[in-house]
Chains A and B, each alone.
Chain A
Amino acid sequence: MNVPPIHPVRMSVFAEPACLPIVRSAVEKLCELANMPADGTGDVAVAVDEAVGNIIRHAYADTPGGTINISLAIRQVCGQPRLVIRLRDFGRGGDPKRFRSRDLSRVRPGGLGMHIMHQCMDSVRYQKARGAGTVLVMTRCLNGVTR
């Protein structure tokens, strides 16, 4: 797969729902520049949407004014080009081991975000940040199929 050289992108957004279309647009544009297929771009956009939504709801408890630092980069990992997305918040950090998908056998609204992120990305890794907050790193192979 031919991946043109792409500079990493860094941005800082307020942890508010209004930022979602802007973040999505940046992610989709980067995927387009990296020649990612449309289905892959859709997966990545929805995964980032869920990740930012979780930060707004859980890390900042829907309180406006919080910040999310986001970086997007294409890196070669084991000879494969990968999109690496890093989201850093400064809110209430939970225990990353407890960030799990719920049982999907019961049909009810809500609680699908973690499941979607894991399904749409090759890896989803949370870690406590130095000081306050949490770092989330998600990767997706640019030319692979995750599921």
Chain B
Amino acid sequence: MMQQWARPIAGVRWIDRNAVVDVVGEVDMANSMDFQQGLLAVLDERPGRMIVNLSRVRHMDSTGLASLVKLLKKARKYGTDLILVGLTDRVRSLFEITRLYPVFTIFATEQEAMT
């Protein structure tokens, strides 16, 4: 049976032992708890590498960032590589102004993150 994911997580693809999480739409206070729980649930599956694809995220606020910071901290504890890919201009700007851009591993595309 296909796993149903609460928005804004559209789905999770497993490629070998790596998980690719597709995020869509807008991440804000209204859905950031679903976002966070969905991400942490994937991490608990202990992927070798966890890639969060943000290329279809139109908008994100500080609650979305907080979810990603929590995810990063737990990923480090697990020894899992967490990679963010496909940041839109608006999301990239948010990472830059909060000085979180250098804290995360960020690639332009999934292909780059997989190599």
Cβ–Cβ < 8 Å partners of A53 in chain B: 28-29, 61-63
Q: A116 near B26 (CB under 8 angstroms)?
A: no
Q: Report chain A residues within 8 Å CB of B28.
A: 17, 20-21, 24, 49, 53
Mask for B42-79, Cβ within 8 A of A = 1, else 0? 00000000000000000111110111011000000000
Residue A18 interfacial (CB < 8 Å)? yes
Residues of A whose CB lies within 8 Å of any CB of B are: 17-18, 20-21, 24, 38-39, 42-43, 45-46, 49-50, 53, 56, 104, 107-110, 112-113, 115-116, 119-120, 147
- Complex formed: what's the CA distance from A104 to B98 in Å? 7
Kindly list chain B residues whose C-beta atoms are within 8 Å of the C-beta of A113.
62
Complex contacts, B59 vs chain A, CB 8 Å = 24, 42, 45-46, 49
Name the contact of B67 in the complex, choosing from A17, A109, A119 (C-beta under 8 A): A109
List 11 A-B residue pairs with CB atoms under 8 Å apart, sorted by A's residue number.
A21-B26, A43-B93, A49-B29, A53-B29, A53-B61, A107-B103, A109-B65, A109-B70, A112-B98, A115-B98, A120-B97
Inter-chain CA distance A119–B30, complex, in Å, is 23
A119 to B70, CA, bound (A): 23
Bound Cα distance from A38 to B98, whole angstroms: 19
